[in-house]
Every structure is written in C-alpha cells, then in structure tokens.
A and B are shown apart, each in its own frame.
Chain A
C-alpha cells in the first residue's frame, strides 16, 4: 500500500517569505500526486496536481510543486507567502494505473503566516 509523509507539521513564516513544504511518498509504480489546501473552517480544495509530463506544475494562487521521481518527492513551493495563505496543506497520492481508486493523504502541514 502507498503512504505519504509530510515532514513539517507546523510552519510559521512572515509575509513575503518563501515557502517549501516537503512531501515524500512510498509507492513503486506510476503515481498521480496532489496538493490540497484547507483554509480555517473550510473543506479541502485542490491546489495543484501532477499526472505526467513537465515535473514542475503550477497551481492556483502562485503555488507550484516539483515532482522528483528519483527522490519520491513532490514538494510544494511559493516564492512569497501572504497572510491569506494561512491554512493546512495536504499532500496526496493515488496509483496512476491500477490499485484502489481513492487518494491516500499525508498528515498535513499547518502553515501560519504572520503579517
């Protein structure tokens, strides 16, 4: 079974600082990868996703993520965070070709941006 690890449980940044959230997965085959965001009091929303092709994917609100197959990683980045980016971020994986048709989520990273 696949698993997802997010290294940082709680990150505190000042506005305009750069962000990088780590995500590693364990699965030997082809995978589809995702980042979801959950703003305070809201449900999860898709931030970006990777299926194939260019390993650098761009999502909404200036976020991007890079898939590095050799490192089994899919780290999320943003050059300059804003107070409104305060939220919890979840990395998720699903087998690309076979396997259960549901996502496996990481434990989440809580991002707090201070004005």
Chain B
C-alpha cells in the first residue's frame, strides 16, 4: 500500500494564482482531512470529509475549496492565492469502520506539500 500520497511536494505561486493540491489514499478510508501547519501554530483543520460526496468546513476554510467525488481522492483547491496561504499542507485519512463508530483519531498522514505564495 502506498498509504496517503500528496502532490506536489513543493510549489511556488504568485499572488492571485490558483492551484490544486492532490491527495490520494489506497486504504479505502472513509474519513479524509486537510490540515495546514504553520511554525509555532500547530495544525489547523481546513476541510474534512466523512465519505464520498460529503465535505465540511474546519477551523480555517476561507480561501480553500474541496471536493470528494470518490473515496480515494480529496483534492484541495486554492483560489486567488494570498501570502497568508504560505504553509505546509497535510492530507490525512482515517478508517472510521475500525473505530467502532467513533473517530479514534489514528490518522495516517501524507508527507506534506510546502506551498509558498509570493
């Protein structure tokens, strides 16, 4: 199994450009998440999904959009990139079925995507 795969690993954007961060998992997990990590700030939840066709906002959703058309893929879209979106982005997945109906929190993380907006 490849686990959680994120692309690209690094990207530089100009202000106002748009891009999509890709995330794929091959573990058939139903829950998927996008976090951003900023120095000294921990991880902030951007969006999450509890299954195909279902998405919900996290703590910091402004400036982002997501879609979940299949179980495997959970892309994160940045529209009109701003310097405040310079960060490291992590995608994660979780198998809700193993938690017995409860999110036990053992997330599997991708390796991260470092985005710089200039």
- Interface residues in A3-50 by Cβ distance below 8 A to B read 4, 6, 9, 32, 34, 42-46, 49
Task: Report the interface size for chain B: residues with CB under 8 A from the other chain.
Answer: 27
A102 contacts B41, CB within 8 Å? no
Contact of B31 among A9, A32, A45, A101 (CB under 8 A): A101
B110 in the interface (beta carbon within 8 A): yes
Given A34-B105, A49-B105, A102-B103, residue A43 in contact with residue B90 (CB < 8 A): yes
Are A49 and B106 in contact, with the CB atoms below 8 A? yes
Q: Chain A contact residues: over half helix, strand or loop, or mixed?
A: loop
- Does A56 have its Cβ within 8 Å of any Cβ on chain B? no
With A42-B111, A43-B112 as known contacts, state yes or no: A108 contacts B106, CB within 8 Å. no
Instruction: Give min CB distance, A70 to chain B, whole Å.
Output: 23
From B50, B59, B104, contact of A32 by CB (8 A): B104
Which residues of B4-50 are within 8 A (CB) of A? 31, 33, 35, 40-45, 48, 50
Q: Is the CB of A9 within 8 A of B105?
A: no
Q: Which residues of A contact B41 (CB under 8 A)?
A: 107
B58 located at the interface, meaning its Cβ lies under 8 Å from any Cβ of chain A in the complex: yes
A residues 60-112 in Cβ contact with B at 8 Å: 90, 92, 94, 96-97, 100-108
Q: Which residues of B contact A105 (CB under 8 A)?
A: 35, 42-44
**Chain B residues within 8 Å of A, Cβ to Cβ:** 31, 33, 35, 40-45, 48, 50, 56, 58-59, 90, 92, 96, 102-107, 109-112
9 examples of A-B residue contacts, CB within 8 angstroms: A44-B90, A44-B109, A49-B106, A51-B104, A94-B103, A101-B103, A104-B45, A105-B42, A105-B43
